[in-house]
Structure 1
Amino acid sequence: MSEAEPEPSLRRRFIALALPSIAASLMVPVASLIDTAILGHLDELEPLAGVALGGVIFDLLYWSFGFLRMGTTGLTAQAFGREQLGESRALLLRAGVLALVFAALLLGLQGAIGWVSFALLDGEVAVELAARAYFNARIWAAPAVLLNFCVMGWLLGMQRTRPILVIAVVANGVNVALDYLLIVRLGWGAAGAGWATMGSQYAALLAAVPMVWRAWAQTRGDQPTAPVLSWPHLAPLLHLGRHIWLRTLALITTFALFTNFSASFSSTLLAANAVLLRVLGLASYFIDGFAHATESLTGVLVGRDDKHGLRKLLGLAMRWGLATAGGFALAFIAFPQLFTLLTDQPELLAAVVGARGWLVLVLLLGSIAYVLDGYFIGLTAGVTLARAMLLSFGLGFLPLALWARYGDGGPQVLWLALLSFMAARALSLGVCVPATLSSADEKPGTSG
C-alpha cells in the first residue's frame, strides 16, 4: 500500500480482516457455553465443577504461549509487507519448531504441572478427581494447541482471515459432536470433555493443513524459503516471544488477583464480578477482531515503511474499537435486564446491575488498550508491550487492589484498581505512538 492509497481501500481491507476474526473469536465463548450446557444437564454437579477447575489450569498454561500467535503475526506481516515471501514462509516453520519443543516439554512435565496445579487449587475431593480426569485427557492436546497458535498467527500475518474462520468452525463443530458422544452417550463425564477438547484441536490442525498449503504454494514464486533454524533468524522470534510472555503474565496476574480479592469480600461479590468479567470478555471478543486486523495491517505497513498508512490505520481502528465498546456500554446502561440472561438470583442480579457502571468505564478504556496492543504487536515492539503492561500492573492496579483487599478500600476500590489498570495500559502505550509515526520506528529484532 503506498501513501497515495485512498482511505476507502484501507477501510475495506481493515473490515475484511476484522469481521472473520470477530466471527472466529466468538466461537470460543459459544463453545464454552455449549460445553457448560451439556455438563450442566448431568445428574451430578462434580463434572461441571471439575471442568471449570481444570479449565483454570489450561487457561493459564496455554495463554502463556500466546506469543507464538502474536509474535508470528507481527513478524510475518512485516515480511509480507516487504515482499520477503521466503522469509514469511520460514517464520511459520520456525514458530512450528518452537511449538513442538514447548509441547514436548509440557507433555514430559505433565505430572509435575498437575501436582503443582492441584496443590494450589482448592476443590472438594470429588471435584478434584473430575478435574484431574479432565486435565489428564486435555493435556495431550498441547502439540495441536501450540501449532494452531502458529498457524493462526501466520495466516493473520499473511492477510488471510477466512481460513481462520473455517478452522474455528471445524474445531467447535467437532468439539460439540465429541461432547455429545463422549459425555451424553458414553457417560465419560469430565474426562469426556477433556478428550473432546483434545480431539477438536487436532481436527482444527488437520483442517488447517490444506489451507496453509494453498497459501504456501501461492507465495512460492522465485523466492526460496529462508533458513529456518539458524540463530540469527530464530533470535527475533524468541526475543519478541520473551517480552510478549512477560506482558501476558502481568495480564493474567491482574485478572487472577481481581478474582481472588473479590472472593475475600463475599461469595455474592465473587459471583457478581465473575458475571461482569464474563460480559467484559464477550465484548472484548468483538474488539479483539479489530485489534487482530490492526496487528496484520500494521505489520504490512511497517514492512512498506508507510507512516501515512499507519496514521490512517490507527485512527480507523480506534474509531471502530471505541464505537463497538460504546455500543455495548449503551446496551448495559439502557437495558440492565440483559443481565438476567446470565443469572436470575435477585441478590446476585442486584450486585451485577449495581456495578455495571464500572464495567462500562473499564470496557471503554479497555477498547483503547486492546487496539494499541494490536498496533504494537504489528510493530513487533515487544519491549514496549512488556514495559507498558508491567507498569500498568505495578502502578496502575496493584496499589489500589491491595488497598481494597487489606485496607479499608472495599469492593469499589477493587473496581477502581481494574479501571486504573486499563487507563495505565492506554496511556503508557499511547505516549509511545508518536515515535512510531516519526523517524523512530521500532524494527523487528531490535526492540522486541
Structure 2
Amino acid sequence: MNPTSRRILHIAVPSIVSNITVPLLGLVDVTIVGHLGAASYIGAIAIGGMLFNMIYWIFGFLRMGTGGLTAQAYGRHDLQEVSDVLLRSLTLSTALALGLILLQYPIRLIAFACIDASPEIEALATRYFHICIWGAPATLGLYGFIGWFIGMQNSRFPMFIALTQNIVNIAGSLFFVFVLKMKVEGVALGTLIAQYAGLLMAAGLYLTYYKPLRKYLRFRNLLERTALRRFFQVNRDIFLRTLCLVAVTVFFTSRGAAYGDVILAVNTLLMQLFTLFSYIMDGFAYAGEALTGKNIGARNTTELRQTVRHLFGWGIGLSVAFTLLYAIGGKGFLGLLTNDTTVIEASGAYFYWVLAIPLAGFTAFLLDGICIGATATGLMLRSMAVASVSFFALYFEFEHTGGNHALWLAFIVYLALRGILQAVWGRHLLTGTGIR
C-alpha cells in the first residue's frame, strides 16, 4: 500500500471506530430504561439526550479548532505552541462548561419551552438534565484533548477513550438502575461517571505518553496576543459554521414533522443511512485534518498534494461503494430499523435521494477536514453560509409543488454546494500553493 494511504488509514480507521461508538452511549441508556416498564422513561432519556447532543454539538469547535492548530504546530516541530494550544483549549472548555452549569436553569426552561412533552416526561427529563449537566466540564474538556490527540497524528487514544466510556457507562448504568433501583437518575449517573472516566483517561494518557511536553505548559503564554487572536478567530468561524449546520438539520427534521408522522418516520430512517456514511467519511476527514495541518506546518507541498490526492481517491471509492450498497441493500437495512410496513412502503418514493448522498456529500466531508487542518475556517464558514441560504431558498421555491421531495432536493444541493464552493475557493489548498 502507498505510504500516504497508509498514513491516512492509520488515522482514519481508529477515528471511524470512535465515531461508531458515539451513538452507543445514548443507545445503551435507552435500552436500559426500555426495560423499566414505562414509555415515559424512554421519552425522558430521548429528550434529555437530544438536548445535550444539541448543546455539545454547538461546542464542537473546541475539538476542530484545537486539532487544526495543533497539527500545524506539530508539523513545525513547535513543541511550545503544541502545548499552548492544548492549554488554551482546556482553559476555554472549562470556562464554557462552568457557564453551562451556572446557566443550567434558564437553559432547561428555554429548552423545555420549545419541546412539547407530557408533564411526566418533562419531570423525568428534568432530573436527567440536572444530573448530566455536571458532566459538561468532562465532555468539553475531552473535546480539547481529542482534538489535540488528532492534531498530534494520534487517533488511537480517542478510540481507546470512546471504548472505555462505553464500558463504564454500561456497567455504571446497569448497577445504578438494577442494583440500586435509581431508574432515570441511575442512567444519568452512569453517563456522568463515564464522561469523567473518559476525561481522566485522556489526562492519564497525556501525562504518561507526552511527559516531555509537560515542561512547556506555561500559563503566562495563555494571553499571548497574536496566538490568542488566531485561536479565537479559528474557533469563532467554526462556531458560526456549526450554527448554520444546526439550523439546516433542525429545519429538515421540523419540516418533515409538518408532513405527518409517516413522512417524519421516513425521513428519520433515511437519514440514518446518511449518518452511517458520515461516520465513515468523518474518519477520513479527521485524517485530512491531521495530515494537512502537519504538512502545512512543515511546509511540505509535495506531501500535501499527495495527501489530498489519496484522500479524494478514498472518497470517490467509498462513495461509489456506498451508493451500490444502498442501492442493493438499503431497503433491507430499513427493515432492520422498523417493521412498520407503512413507513417502509412510503420510503420507496424518497429512497433515490439517499442514493445521491454519497457522491453529493463526500467532497464536503473531506474538504471540511482539509480546511480545519489548514485553519482555513473562514473558507468553511463562507461556503457553509452560502450552502445554507441555498438550502432554505431552494426549499421554499419548490415547497408547494414538491413537498417532502423539495426538502430532500434542497438537502442534496446543500451537501453538494458545500463541497463545490470549498473546492473552488480553496483550490490553493488542494494544489499546495497555499503553503507559505
Question: 1:438 Cα shift?
Answer: 5.6
Structure 1 residues 27 and 438, CA, compared in 2 at 3 Å: closer, same or farther?
closer
1:258 aligns with 2:255: no
- 1:188 aligned onto 2:182: yes
Matched position secondary structure for 2:37 = coil
Residue 6 of structure 2 is matched in structure 1 by: 12
Whole-Å separation in 1 of the counterparts to 2:181 and 2:354: 39
Match of 1:169 among 149, 163, 169: 163
What is the SS of the residue equivalent to 1:408? helix
The counterpart of 1:66, out of the listed 60, 66, 70, is 60
Equivalent residue pairs, number = 434
Aligned-pair CA distance for 1:33:
2.6
- Cα contact 2:26–2:49 (8 A) shared by 1: no
Q: Does 1:146 align with 2:135?
A: no
Provide Cα deviations, 1:331-385, integer angstroms capped at 9, x if missing partner.
2211221211100110011123442211121232112110110000000011111
Q: Deviations over 1:255-281 (max 9, x none)?
A: 100000000111011011111112211
Q: Return the alpha-carbon distance in structure 2 between the equivalents of residues 363 and 437 of structure 1.
A: 21
1 CA distance for matches of 2:398 and 2:44?
A: 30
AA of the residue aligned to 1:123: A
Aligned mate of 2:195, from 176, 197, 201: 201
CA separation of 1:388/1:42 partners in 2, compared to 1, >3 Å: closer, same or farther?
same
Q: Is the alpha carbon distance of 1:359 and 1:184 closer, same or farther for their aligned partners in structure 2, counting shifts above 3 Å? A: farther
Query: Contact 2:29–2:45 at 8 Å: present in 1 too?
Result: no
Percent identity between the two aligned chains: 34
Q: Distance in 1 between matches of 2:222 and 2:154?
A: 22
The SS at the match of 1:418 is helix
Tell me the residue number matched to 2:99.
105
Give the Cα–Cα distance (whole angstroms) in 2 for the partners of residues 242 and 34 of structure 1. Answer: 34
Q: Which residue in the other structure is 1:361 paired with?
A: 356
In the alignment, is the contact (CA less than 8 A) between 1:66 and 1:149 conserved in 2?
yes
Contact 1:29 1:282 in 2 (8 A): no
Deviation at 1:190, TM superposition (A): 2.7
CA distance in 2, matches of 1:315, 1:323: 12
CA change 1:185–1:403 in 2 (3 A) is farther
Unaligned runs of 5+ in 2: none
- In 1, Cα distance between the equivalents of 2:378 and 2:197? 35
1:155–1:164: 8 Å Cα contact kept in structure 2?
yes
TM-score when normalising by structure 1: 0.92
* Separation in structure 1 between the aligned mates of residue 21 and residue 104 of structure 2, nearest angstrom: 28
**Residue 418 of structure 2: which of 420, 425, 428 is its match?**
425
Paired residue for 1:305? 299
Asked if 1:393 is matched to 2:388, the reply is: yes
Alpha-carbon distance in 1 for matches of 2:435, 2:172:
46
The whole-number CA distance in structure 2 between the counterparts of 1:413 and 1:437 is 33
Give ranges in structure 1 of 5+ residues lacking alignment.
Answer: 1-6, 444-448
**Which residue is 2:318 aligned to?**
324
2:110 maps to: 116
Distance 1:438 1:423 in 2: 21
Question: Aligned-pair distance for 1:440?
Answer: 5.6
Corresponding residue SS for 1:121: coil
RMSD value, Cα: 1.9
With normalisation by structure 2, the TM-score equals 0.95
1:293 paired residue number: 287
C-alpha contact 2:73 2:294 (8 A) present in aligned 1? yes
Partner of residue 47, structure 2: 53
- 1 or 2, which has the higher helix percentage? 2
For residues 323 and 432 of structure 2, the distance between their equivalents in structure 1, rounded to whole angstroms, comes to: 38
